[in-house]
Amino acid sequence: MSNYYLAVDIGASSGRHMLFTIEDGKMQMDEIYRFENAMTNVGGKLLWDTKKLFNEIKNGMKECKRLGKIPCSMSIDTWGVDYVLLDEVGQVLGDTYGYRDHRTDGMDEEVYKIISEEELYNRVGIQKAIFNTIYQLTADKLQRPEVLKEAKTLLMIPDYLNFLLTGVRASEYTNATTTGLVNPHTKQWDYQLIEMLGLPREIFLELKLPGNEVGNLRDEIKEEVGFDLKVLQCASHDTASAVMAMPHLGNEGLYISSGTWSLMGVENTEALTRDCDRKSNFTNEGGYDYRYRYLKNIMGLWMIQQVRHEANDALSFAEYAELAARANSFPSLVNANDERFLSPKNMTEEIKKACAESRQQVPSTSGEMAAVIYKSLAACYGNTIKEISANTGKQYEVLHIIGGGCKNRYLNQLTADATGLTVLAGPSEATAIGNAMVQMIEDGALADLMAARETVHKSFDIEVFNPKGGERC
């Protein structure tokens, strides 16, 4: 019987435990546990409840035991940029902030007093986003220096959850690259930059590649969940895992990892840190096997998620897509990448306000609101394709859409029309699949990344959307 591999995939709005096996040369996937996740507002601060997250991780592991499907290994992936600070004995210091908290407002200017925006980009190749770890740590230095002074270790969120499971502190490369503090040439922390910024060098651990074995479960965890296994570090930034699962056809590597965020880009073998890349706001995040994800962060499905919550979740996402298709002729568009949509008090009102300010029709129904969001996203995708082609000097024919957003057939068709490219949609659980791929490669069940991608292509349905007349926004 094939081994079971447990992928714990935690996104900004939900988490899931997925069990994988290899049967007849195909990956088999079974979702065994799912839970909600969200930042919580505590006294005006947006924080992560890591205790709750860890309890949910253990609950999913207990479900493996109940089902009699004991995995040989597990890995955890999450979003990037957020972290915990630990003291000498491994206790969390202070709050664990979420990236949408406004404590980083103005922190970019504080960093640029030390190193210019141009020099910083040339040095680390990471796009400017006000929530990047470099700005969060600058906020720590200025707003809670006592916490930073006491800290002995910085761990990104998945590394911290691994620490709770094993008692071992280890930092993984792909998630660390989202901080804006990793040198793309040495592929380790940029300690010179860290010291320039006045941050404590000693809290940054040597970076390990995906596939690194962190350790086995602590005795108390083993007793609680009812079994032991190996805990591995996957490509623990969820986008890095998702892009691993891109089912290549030929040499096309253009993708959108579609979820709360839309991460749109290509794979490169080296970082592109030229002035044209900076001005286009592209990032060079680390991927599996030291590949670089040259991509742009686009606001993504966060906008429709918030609109849905503000309407008390009365409609499903599928219903929103259906209503948007009926309201397809509604003409208004917004800039889906405007920071005003990052963390507004009310997304619905912010979109209406943006339409009014630009003297466009203001959406008044759920369908019109959804149409504005989806058509604006597609327009943003179309513009981003042009930038990617200009900066890489390549023309593309195929666009892979992976992740949960690939199930939105209306948005997929809009994207094909806006980009003029054939869209290959799927797999929807790309992040969990990429997580499991690392485990399978390390266990010898899959030979390498390319063999794993071929297996993904054979194992999961891919839907094709052709552009209608090759139109571009």
| 98/131 Cα distance (integer angstroms) | 9
Pairing of strands 171-172, 153-156: unpaired
Could you count the other beta carbons within 10 Å of the beta carbon of residue 316?
A: 10
Q: Are 83 and 155 in contact (CB under 8 A)?
A: yes
Burial of 285 (C-beta count, 10 Å sphere; 0-12/13-18/19+): buried
Q: Where are the strands (E) in 92-212, listed by range?
A: 153-156, 171-172, 182-183, 188-189, 207-208
For residue 16, the one-letter residue type is R
Answer yes or no: 461 catalytic.
no
Q: Where are the strands (E) in 105-186, listed by range?
A: 153-156, 171-172, 182-183
Residue 238 is encoded by which pair of tokens?
Answer: 């969820």
Could you count the other beta carbons within 10 Å of the beta carbon of residue 105?
A: 11
Residue 124 is encoded by which pair of tokens?
Answer: 């680390």
294: Cβ contacts below 8 Å, ≥ 6 apart: 265, 266, 267, 268, 271, 272, 277, 282, 283, 284, 388, 392
User: Which residues are paired to 237 by β-bridges?
Assistant: 78
HSE-up of residue 210 (Cα within 13 Å, Cβ side): 32
H-helix segments, 358-429: 366-392, 409-419
Tell me the CA distances in angstroms from 204 to 155, 188, 200, 257, one per residue in order: 8, 10, 8, 29
Q: Collapse the DSSP code of 57 into the 3-class scheme (helix H, G, I; strand E, B; otherwise coil) and give the result.
A: helix
- Phi and psi dihedrals of 127, rounded to 5? -60, 155
Residue tagged 């602590």 (tokens): 218
| 175/431 Cα distance (integer angstroms) | 14
Helix axes 317-326, 302-310, angle to 10 degrees: 100
H-helix segments, 41-114: 50-67, 107-112
Indicate which residue of 9, 82, 95, 238 is catalytic: 238
Active site residues: 238
